[in-house]
Chains A and B, each alone.
Chain A
Amino acid sequence: MEIDIKHIAKLARLSIPEEKVEKFQKEMEGIIEMVENLPDLNTEGALVDPSDTMQLRKDEVQPSFPRDEMLKNAPNTAAGCIVIPRVVD
């Protein structure tokens, strides 16, 4: 099993420094080898247990967090908005 670690990293929006590529690749191949032993099982039936229902809250208007409090943790804000790099020209 050979894994293109750089491709997976890119999909996950991670970059792996060149000197660590081999280490990550080897470890990942080992891990994949470990988890590969799953048997072929009967795949019929739903994967979600229909008897285990989730209870949703009522759709009622409730006070939400104040904007300034939520923005306190944002790295870069201006005029009550989050600032990000330009995405359209």
Chain B
Amino acid sequence: MGKLYSLSAAQMKDLLNKKEVTSVEITKSVIDRIEKTDKEIQAYISYNFDEALKQAAAVDEKIAKGEKLADMAGIPVAVKDNMCTKNLRTTCASKMLGNFVPPYNATVVEKLLDEGAVIIGKTTMDEFAMGSSGENSAFQVARNPWDTSRVPGGSSSGSAATVAASQVPVALGSDTGGSIRQPACLCGIVGMKPTYGSVSRYGLVAFGSSLDQIGPMARCVDDTAMLFKSICGRDMRDATSKDYTYKPYGDSVKGIKLGIPKQYFGDGISAVVKEKVYRAVEVLKAQGAEVVEVSLPSTDYALSAYYIISSAEASSNLGRFDGVKYGYTGSKRGSLDELYESSRSEGFGDEVKRRIMLGTYVLSSGFYDAYYKKAKILQKNIAKEFDDAFKLCDAIITPINPTTAFKIGEKSDDPLAMYAGDICTVTLNIAGLPGISIPCGFSAEDNMPIGFQAIGKKFTEDKLFTIAKCYENAVGGFAVKEF
């Protein structure tokens, strides 16, 4: 039992059920692991160790009494720092919320606590989830466990890094334009962005409300699905959430039709990534999947539509940070306008300011029709093209990130280069579809992980888990970094 921390959530659950270990033992092992490795990984903004041990002890008490346990009972979970945790600082990796202690739990956190999960800490991220590398954190830059000179991806950088470094078995991320799938891909783990509406957003600090979605990250498919199962479903406090019932998944792709859109395999995608994704398709084909070509012609415009819509919503959502009600308050307080301006200018980092200003610009008088309205029309077209493609197939397979993880600092001065990397992930958020990131090998050039994406129709997460599980079995499981 020396390495309890390295077990999967499913293995932990099994040992707990057999009473071979206690949740306190697991939690202590995880805490010890984090204390030993987090100086290097820097995945966490806040630790919740004292409270976590109490939560674990409460589960152990239930086990001793012979009570039936929920799936996540006694399992340590890391939570991205943009989901509200009652009495535990929730910063969004921003100076703006550096001292914010929420008076309530996000629905996903509440659901996990109800099941008896152990919240181990809050993970770092790009400030307000804006970024693709984790470098936009106001506090610390998480490292990629496969090579700590490289980024883990973003914006759920800490959640991906902590799982990949076997600090915890599972973590929650959020995904507005790829922020779960891309870091999962770059860190060689599994990450799922659920259908818009299948997981409640209540208590998730809003970025682009019509695109944001919370989802699970783990080192294997079963754990990813187990965490998803415990957080999905309708919540009255999020009017966009849907009556979603979790459906079990299988492990056979026999007869499943996989669509391959050529627009996702263009010049912008590196040869090594394309090769690995095509090879993954071959693996699935050998397992009985059928492969068809599909076309998603508006893909070229998706990045523009995404940055217009998400920034427009962000500029509106982030209007609430005014230095008055909560959060950072600025140094100039002579007038209300001065208070607003100094609070926002001192509290937000540069990337957040860029997005707010882009959103302000595209929504401003005279430009609305040229940008925002066009982007919304394009959003409809993109969704329709997916609908048409799904008449020919059950799921669509694409790359996730054009390259493997890049070096820290390599792109941080070039926002456009950073934005361009999101081309394969943003379309799902625009169309509200679910997508899963599945590891599919390593680049021979830099030994960094590569992943592929399976995209499904709305509310077909079970099918995506089936494809992922089939692939995982076929390749004999995913590599775990000895760290």
Q: Could you tell me which A residues sit within 8 Å of B by CB distance? A: 3, 5, 8-9, 11-16, 20, 24, 27-28, 30-32, 34-43, 45, 47, 49, 54-57, 65, 69-70, 72-76, 82, 84-87
Q: Is the CB of B103 within 8 A of A57?
A: no
Most chain B CB within a 10 A radius of its CB, from A12, A40, A47: A12
Binding site secondary structure of chain B: helix
Q: Could you tell me which B residues sit within 8 Å of A by CB distance? A: 99-101, 103-104, 234, 236-237, 239-240, 242, 300-301, 303-305, 307-308, 315, 322-329, 333-342, 344-345, 348, 350, 353-354, 356-358, 360-362, 364, 371, 373-378, 380-381, 415-416, 419
How distant is the Cα of A17 from the Cα of B30 in the complex, in angstroms?
Answer: 44
Q: Is the CB of B344 within 8 A of A70?
A: no
Residues of B within 8 A of A70 (CB): 103
Known contacts A31-B419, A47-B373, A74-B326; A39 and B357 CB within 8 A of each other: no
Q: Is the CB of B374 within 8 A of A28?
A: no
Name A69's contact: one of B103, B334, B373, B381 (CB within 8 Å).
B103
Q: Is the CB of B360 within 8 A of A11?
A: yes
Known contacts A31-B415, A73-B101; A5 and B357 CB within 8 A of each other: yes
Residues of B within 8 A of A47 (CB): 373, 376-377, 380
Q: Is the CB of B380 within 8 A of A28?
A: no
CB nearest neighbor in B for A65: B103
Q: Is the CB of A34 within 8 A of B303?
A: yes
CB nearest neighbor in A for B86: A69
Q: Is the CB of B357 within 8 A of A85?
A: no
Q: Is the CB of B364 within 8 A of A8?
A: yes
Q: Is the CB of A8 within 8 A of B104?
A: no
How distant is the Cα of A75 from the Cα of B99 in the complex, in angstroms?
Answer: 10
Q: Is the CB of A28 within 8 A of B361?
A: yes
CB nearest neighbor in B for A68: B103
Given contacts A24-B353, A31-B415, A73-B99, 6 further A-B pairs with CB under 8 A are: A24-B357, A31-B416, A32-B358, A35-B362, A39-B378, A65-B104
Shortest CB distance B419–A (Å): 7
Q: Is the CB of B348 within 8 A of A14?
A: yes
Q: Is the CB of B325 within 8 A of A12?
A: no
Known contacts A12-B356, A72-B103; A32 and B361 CB within 8 A of each other: yes
Q: Top 4 A-B pairs ranked by shortest CB distance?
A: A73-B326, A75-B329, A35-B304, A12-B360
Known contacts A3-B361, A38-B301; A31 and B307 CB within 8 A of each other: yes
Residues of B within 8 A of A16 (CB): 345, 353
Known contacts A14-B341, A14-B348, A85-B336; A30 and B416 CB within 8 A of each other: yes
Shortest CB distance B209–A (Å): 12
Shortest CB distance A20–B (Å): 8
How distant is the Cα of A39 from the Cα of B236 in the complex, in angstroms?
Answer: 38
Residues of A within 8 A of B338 (CB): 85
Shortest CB distance A47–B (Å): 5
How distant is the Cα of A82 from the Cα of B329 in the complex, in angstroms?
Answer: 13
